[in-house]
């Protein structure tokens, strides 16, 4: 079979005997005709231009919005209402009102006032109106830089540098320059550089105008040093830079783009003409206090000093003394922020030193060559990706779509916004909106719930509590119940206590905020794994996996070491939050539920139980789900029950759409994990014995935690044969929201622990990590620790192909050479294998059914029990039906998954959706074809429509169900053996990264993945799944951090605080190859379930980062073993790259003088 190479770019790559093409055929699309593009209606533009300006007033229930037309009117309004804010883009006031509880009865919109939109080029700089958008400011500065001499534009360049990463494009399009300044936020990227650059603010109030330095608004003084309440900022003056003046801006954020900075800085120095003697110095920082702060004392002290290493050493210590945060400072990351404070100044020192070289290279030699790379920030480039897969056999019918790269059936709808999700469903007559009231305590007795004020709120219909649940409020799936409404006590922050239903979402949320709950705190409050271990707080059963004789093996090994790895949790962060629309039908206690869930049958079961009705009265419908990753099963059932109870009580339709913040607060995610291990090895790198304990933070109820612990055990060996093994897994019971299933289901955690001690062995033996991996990899027919047989042939193939395709050895040599030539930047490279077992452990969990109707016009309606989560299952099922019925895909339609058409369907989990539902669809279609075959035989030259018409006339049933019993899987934990998996996916990934040792920032340069997924049904969809899972793995292992208060309150409740990977985190060169000539006799058309496996390969980035850090530490003589936990953030990388700056954080008196 030929192999196709897909290149997501405009160029064509040619490889030996490989057909080159793209993921799509350009012929499928109409050519672009720019003359047919929609334009803004000219008539509306003329109306806007000619319409006389008048003051606009908009009155809401609680507030008034006023848009004046001129400055004088605005000043009068401001004098009358000095506390009213000015709102242009609403990027500051809006979040404060929505999330911070702030309320403004009056707001002013000055966007139409010409004075606040002025753009004026003067002889000494630029004057920009306060209402100018940041995008406009960006364009103006770029234009000025292109026209003015470089000497005058250094400030413009520094401001422009910050603007490139400040927010996203959408934010910059509406956020204003003035709003950024007057908000005085500590996290403003602009204020430090504007303050350091001596920018001026033009202020106005009724009858008065004045100009003050921008830096004055950050001074401690009062009176004229600050903006008065009745004053407004009219414009900002940004001066030209001068000869002998150098300006720079810096920032470090959890993510390089579209993220609030951890710390930032603006710095400016002016030298006496022709010298390196400091005439003026200005240093401002953000992130170090409640607002931007200046190092004034430091700057005054350094006036007259020469720009040399002595000054650097003194300046670093002075800055820390003046600016550094105390260890008790709120917000965390104190040591990291303090390190950045001095690291930024050192970077500025190097930049200026290098610039002085241009003035006199003999007098000012610049910086060492190996320091030069640190002066260049990481830039985001458009990723170049290549996909390679096996093409279909040439003998395959052109109409047969199986094995071809078919576009996702809803792909265009996703892109255009036409895809319908729960909150897009039209409103129902009399519909109510529900807002939940959640616990603010982690473990407490409920003393009272006062709803009196909430019931008085506008539009409030009712309050729903546990007393309103007709039947089951607690579901005992194990010893600890899953609870709809808390009744007497709460066991985590975010547990639902009651709910408010009102005529609008806003009214419901306003009323929910007025519900007063009194608590009596209970002890103990257990939040962490360490606290659970201390209090012996676990869910039963604990699990153990053992083979060989571990204790005896430890006596015969050459070396033994112990270690511990901490892996943080991960938020599902699906695009569509938990969503339910419950519609009572008015008779026979029937109710329709439209739910964003992976498991409609489970929703049906829970809601029926809570309402005390048979399941046949509850109809659950799912068109599509906007992402789930395992997070929309049990919690979705509890939330659906909340909505259903409310709908039952009110006899009205009830809509429940969680906000992102509430979704993150109420639901759990991936289990935080601690792996403790003791490993015995031989000097040649062979592993002889492993004794390990895994602890996962299960949260307050069992959910899926014990099952996750079991899977983490069964898959812990990853790709390696461990002759003697003893491993325990414990699910810890804590007072956090219950953690649950998440893509990979325990494997990404336990396998990371395994790969960590593999790397530790490399450190101990002096062998390379890839050598240790090769030595211990499964190579022949083997038995795994639970006695299941394994044929690892494709594992070895994936490893070897990845080695070859990534050019690993030559690139590793290049990495070493780069590291020799660069001191403050280092590269790292790592290659990691993967064995991912497929299976759900029990036969009944993988059964599936389908229903296929053929209508008399020849069209086909397909239904099955799988859920479209974005993974393309419906697309693949239509491909299966197309092949089996031998008709084009265009004849087949899929409407929705529903309990009315396919009962008792299992959850769409564990990468099994296509496998099991594909078998059911195939069975249904084959049943239909058997019925049609006599008709086809009689009229072989007829077409599909002829045959269907004839079948109908012959009273042949054109509807059929299909069924798949499931895989024969089992595991006996008493014996420690079984066949829990049906087959295995294999893969390998090689990743290369580059780190900045001064900040801890890193860039993903290249990733090569080789995956064995059998014969792909749809390579385009499958490769997309691999790429998406890999990037989600990057998030788990390097970025995503969940932060809680000591009381168990989640801090990271939204995209502002919790960062998932963005475009800037995708490897610049991203290549995915599907292993050719791979067969799988156990699944539909020899394919393999691919949804989860690729996530673990994201750890190749983790170990590439570790490789880079190891290079740093070796160069600096730091031979001590160091631990790297997940996520491996910039903070952790910076701390591991220990230097004189990090020593200063520990008040180490032995810290040497800082030098170049």
Dist. CA 693–CA 757, nearest whole Å: 13
- Terminal C-alpha separation, the chain: 59
User: In whole angstroms, what is the distance from residue 293 CA to residue 301 CA?
Assistant: 17
Q: Are 469 and 484 in contact (CB under 8 A)?
A: yes
Active-site residue among 770, 868, 1092, 1131?
1092
What CA–CA distance (Å, rounded) separates 549 from 722? 11
Q: Give the 3-state secondary structure of residue 671.
A: coil
**Which of 1138, 1073, 1102, 1075 shows the shortest CA–CA distance to 992?**
1102
DSSP 693-724: EEEEEEESS-TTHHHHHHHHHHTTTTTB--SE
Calculate the CA 244 to chain-centre distance: 44
Distance, CA of 771 to CA of 761 (rounded, Å): 10
CB 1102 within 8 A of CB 752: yes
C-alpha–C-alpha distance, residues 400 and 886, integer Å: 7
Chain-centroid distance of CA 733 in Å reads 26
d(CA 692, CA 753): 10
Gap between the Cα atoms of 390 and 558, Å rounded: 45
Alpha-helix runs per DSSP H in 114-230: 134-147, 154-165, 169-174, 177-182, 190-196
Residues facing residue 873 across a β-bridge = none
Rounded to an integer, what distance in angstroms lies between the CA atom of residue 939 and that of residue 932? 11
Question: What is the Cα 63 distance to its own chain's centre?
Answer: 35
Distance of CA 137 to the CA centre of its chain: 30
CA distance 646 to 626: 24
Hunting for tokens 């006339």 — which residue is that? 953
- For 125, the enclosing helix (H) or strand (E) is strand 125-129
Q: Which residues pair with 828 in a beta bridge?
A: 993
Q: Are 1061 and 380 in contact (CB under 8 A)?
A: no
- Measured CA to CA, the distance from residue 553 to residue 235 in angstroms comes to 75
Q: How many residues are present in the chain?
A: 1156
Distance of CA 1027 to the CA centre of its chain: 14
The secondary structure of the chain in percent helix, strand, coil, rounded to multiples of 5, reads 35, 25, 40
**What does the alpha-carbon distance between residue 794 and residue 796 come to, in Å, rounded to a whole number?**
5
Alpha-carbon distances, residue 157 vs 45, 260, 729 (angstroms): 35, 21, 55
Q: Contact 628/593 with Cβ under 8 angstroms?
A: no
DSSP string of 227-269, one letter each residue: --TT-EEEEEEEEPP-TTEEEEEEEE-SSSSSS--SEEEEEEE
Retrieve residue 460's tokens.
């409030």
Angstrom distance (rounded) from CA 261 to CA 186: 9
User: Distance between CA 987 and CA 1074 in Å, rounded?
Assistant: 9
CB 2 within 8 A of CB 19: yes
d(CA 1012, CA 927): 32
The answer to whether 571 and 736 are in contact (CB under 8 A) is no
Give the containing element (helix H, strand E) for 356: helix 334-359
Among this protein's residues, is 1092 annotated catalytic?
A: yes
* Catalytic residue set: 1092
């Amino acid at each position: 079979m030929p192999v196709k190479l897909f290149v997501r770019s405009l160029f064509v790559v040619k490889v030996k005997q490989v057909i080159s093409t793209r993921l799509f055929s350009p012929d499928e699309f109409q050519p672009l005709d720019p003359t047919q593009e929609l334009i803004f209606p000219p008539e509306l533009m003329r109306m806007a231009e000619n319409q006389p300006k008048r003051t606009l007033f908009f009155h809401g229930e609680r507030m008034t919005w006023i848009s004046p037309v001129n400055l004088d009117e605005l000043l009068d309004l401001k004098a009358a209402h000095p506390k009213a804010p000015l709102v242009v883009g609403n990027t500051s006031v809006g979040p404060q009102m929505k999330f911070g509880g702030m309320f403004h009865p009056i707001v002013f919109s000055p966007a139409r006032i010409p004075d606040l939109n002025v753009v004026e080029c003067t002889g000494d700089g630029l004057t920009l109106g306060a209402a100018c958008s940041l995008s406009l400011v960006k364009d103006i500065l770029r234009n000025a830089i292109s026209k003015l001499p470089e000497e005058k534009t250094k400030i413009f360049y520094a401001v422009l540098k910050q603007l490139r990463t400040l927010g996203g494009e959408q934010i910059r399009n509406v956020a204003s320059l003035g709003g950024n300044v007057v908000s005085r936020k500590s996290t403003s990227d602009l204020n430090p550089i504007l303050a350091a650059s001596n920018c001026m603010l033009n202020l106005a109030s009724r009858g008065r105008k004045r100009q003050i330095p921008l830096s004055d608004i950050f001074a401690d003084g009062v009176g004229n040093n600050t903006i008065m309440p009745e004053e407004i900022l009219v414009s900002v003056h940004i001066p030209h830079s001068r000869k002998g003046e150098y300006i720079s801006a810096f920032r470090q954020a959890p993510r390089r783009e579209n993220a609030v900075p951890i710390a930032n800085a603006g710095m400016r120095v002016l030298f006496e003409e022709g010298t390196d003697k400091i005439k003026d110095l200005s240093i401002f920082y953000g992130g170090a206090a409640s607002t931007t702060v200046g190092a004034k004392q430091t700057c005054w002290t350094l006036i007259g000093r020469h720009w040399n290493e002595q000054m650097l050493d003194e300046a670093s210590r002075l800055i820390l003394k003046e600016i550094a945060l105390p260890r008790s400072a709120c917000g965390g990351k104190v040591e990291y922020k303090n390190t950045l404070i001095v690291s930024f100044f050192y970077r500025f020192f190097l930049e200026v030193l290098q610039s002085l070289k241009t003035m006199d290279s003999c007098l000012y030699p610049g910086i060492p060559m190996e320091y030069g790379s640190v002066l260049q920030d990481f830039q985001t480039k458009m990723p170049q990706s290549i996909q390679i897969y096996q093409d279909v056999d040439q003998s395959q019918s052109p109409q047969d779509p199986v094995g071809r790269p078919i576009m996702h059936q809803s792909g265009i709808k996703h892109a255009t916004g036409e895809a319908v999700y729960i909150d897009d469903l039209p409103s129902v007559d009399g519909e109510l909106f529900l807002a939940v009231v959640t616990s603010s305590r982690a473990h407490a007795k409920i003393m009272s719930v006062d709803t009196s004020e909430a019931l008085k709120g506008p539009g409030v219909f009712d309050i729903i509590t546990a007393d309103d649940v007709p039947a089951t409020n607690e579901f005992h799936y194990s010893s600890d119940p899953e609870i709809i409404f808390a009744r007497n006590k709460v066991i985590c922050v975010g547990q639902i206590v009651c709910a408010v239903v009102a005529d609008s979402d806003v009214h419901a949320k306003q009323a929910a905020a007025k519900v007063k709950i009194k608590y009596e705190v209970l002890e103990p409050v257990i939040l962490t794994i360490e606290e659970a271990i201390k209090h012996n707080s676990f869910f039963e059963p604990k699990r153990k996996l053992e083979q060989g004789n571990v204790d005896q093996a430890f006596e015969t090994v050459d070396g033994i070491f112990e270690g511990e790895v901490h892996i943080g949790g991960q938020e599902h962060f699906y695009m569509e939050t938990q969503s339910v629309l419950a519609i009572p039908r008015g008779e026979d206690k029937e109710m329709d539920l439209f739910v964003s869930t992976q498991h409609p049958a489970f929703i049906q079961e829970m809601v029926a139980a809570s309402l005390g009705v048979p399941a046949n009265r509850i109809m659950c419908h799912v068109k599509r789900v906007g992402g789930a990753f395992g997070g929309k099963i049990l919690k979705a059932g509890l939330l659906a029950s909340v909505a259903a109870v409310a709908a039952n009580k009110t006899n009205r339709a009830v809509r429940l759409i969680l906000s992102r913040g509430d979704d993150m607060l109420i639901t759990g995610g991936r289990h935080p994990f601690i792996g403790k291990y003791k490993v015995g090895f031989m000097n040649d790198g062979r592993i002889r014995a492993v004794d390990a304990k895994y602890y996962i933070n299960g949260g307050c109820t069992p959910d899926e935690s014990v099952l996750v612990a079991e899977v983490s055990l069964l898959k812990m060996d990853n790709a390696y044969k461990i002759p003697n093994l003893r491993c325990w897994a414990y699910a810890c019971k804590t007072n956090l929201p219950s953690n649950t299933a998440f893509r990979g289901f325990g494997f990404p955690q336990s396998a990371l622990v395994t790969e960590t001690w593999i790397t530790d062995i490399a450190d101990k033996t002096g062998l390379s990590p890839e050598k240790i991996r090769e030595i211990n990899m499964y190579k022949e027919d083997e038995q795994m620790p639970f006695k299941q047989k394994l044929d690892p042939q494709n594992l070895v193939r994936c490893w070897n192909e990845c080695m070859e395709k990534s050019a690993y050895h030559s690139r590793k040599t290049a990495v070493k050479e780069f590291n020799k030539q660069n001191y403050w930047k280092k590269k790292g490279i790592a290659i990691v294998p993967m064995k991912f077992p497929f299976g759900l452990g029990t036969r009944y969990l993988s059964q599936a059914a389908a229903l296929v109707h053929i209508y008399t016009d020849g069209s086909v309606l397909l239904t099955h029990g799988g859920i479209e989560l974005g993974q393309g299952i419906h697309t693949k099922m239509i491909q299966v039906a197309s092949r089996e019925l031998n008709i084009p895909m265009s004849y087949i339609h899929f409407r929705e998954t529903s309990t009315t058409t396919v009962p008792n369907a299992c959850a769409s989990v564990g990468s099994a959706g296509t496998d099991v539902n594909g078998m059911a669809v195939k069975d249904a279609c084959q049943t239909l074809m058997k019925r049609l075959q006599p008709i086809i035989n009689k009229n072989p030259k007829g077409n599909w429509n002829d045959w269907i018409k004839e079948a109908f006339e012959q009273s042949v049933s054109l509807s059929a169900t299909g069924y798949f019993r499931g895989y024969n899987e089992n595991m006996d934990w008493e014996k420690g053996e079984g066949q829990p998996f049906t087959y295995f996916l294999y893969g390998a990934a090689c990743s290369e990264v580059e780190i900045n040792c001064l900040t801890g920032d890193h860039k993903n340069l290249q990733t090569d993945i080789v995956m064995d997924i059998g014969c792909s049904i749809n390579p385009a969809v499958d490769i997309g799944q691999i790429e998406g899972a890999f990037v989600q793995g990057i998030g788990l292992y390097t970025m995503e951090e969940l932060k809680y208060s000591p009381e168990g309150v989640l801090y990271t409740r939204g995209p502002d605080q919790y960062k998932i990977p963005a475009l800037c985190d995708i490897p610049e060169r991203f290549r995915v190859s599907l292993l050719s000539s791979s067969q799988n006799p156990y699944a539909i058309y020899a394919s393999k379930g691919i949804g989860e496996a690729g996530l673990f390969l994201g750890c190749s980035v983790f170990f590439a980062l570790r490789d880079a850090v190891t290079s740093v530490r070796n160069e600096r003589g730091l031979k001590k073993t160091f631990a790297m936990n997940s996520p491996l953030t910039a903070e952790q990388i910076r701390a591991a790259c220990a230097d004189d700056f990090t020593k200063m954080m520990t008040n180490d008196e032995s810290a040497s003088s800082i030098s170049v």
